[in-house]
């Protein structure tokens, strides 16, 4: 897959990496007490949309704890924020 960000950053993610690690295209995140204190979430709200400050509105997120340690430093390019295009290659 080719994942392109608003600033023209582009990452190519193999089908094997997607199958092995199951990244998600996040559109929201869990509300925190800080979010509630800042009126970003209602008292009974569980999730809120990602803001631009959060890397949204769409953010390619990987399960960091599941990735091998050797995989992470050389693959920072797999984290794509402000995603504007996803296409197969």
Domain boundaries, the chain: 2-87
Name the more confident of 70 and 42: 42
How much is the pTM?
0.79
pLDDT score of 31: 97
How much is the average pLDDT of 11-21? 91
Spatial CB neighbours of 15, under 8 Å, sequence gap ≥ 6: 1
pLDDT category at 72 given cuts 50, 70, 90 is low
The overall average pLDDT reported for the chain is 90
pLDDT of residue 76: 66
């Amino acid at each position: 897959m080719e994942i392109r960000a608003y600033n023209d950053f582009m990452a190519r993610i193999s089908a094997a990496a997607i199958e092995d690690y199951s990244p998600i295209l996040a559109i929201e995140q869990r509300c925190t007490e800080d979010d509630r204190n800042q009126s970003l979430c209602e008292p009974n709200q569980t999730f809120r949309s990602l803001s631009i400050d959060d890397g949204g509105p769409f953010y390619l997120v990987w399960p960091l704890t599941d990735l091998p340690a050797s995989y992470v430093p050389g693959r920072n390019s797999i984290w794509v924020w402000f995603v504007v295009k996803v296409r197969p290659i």
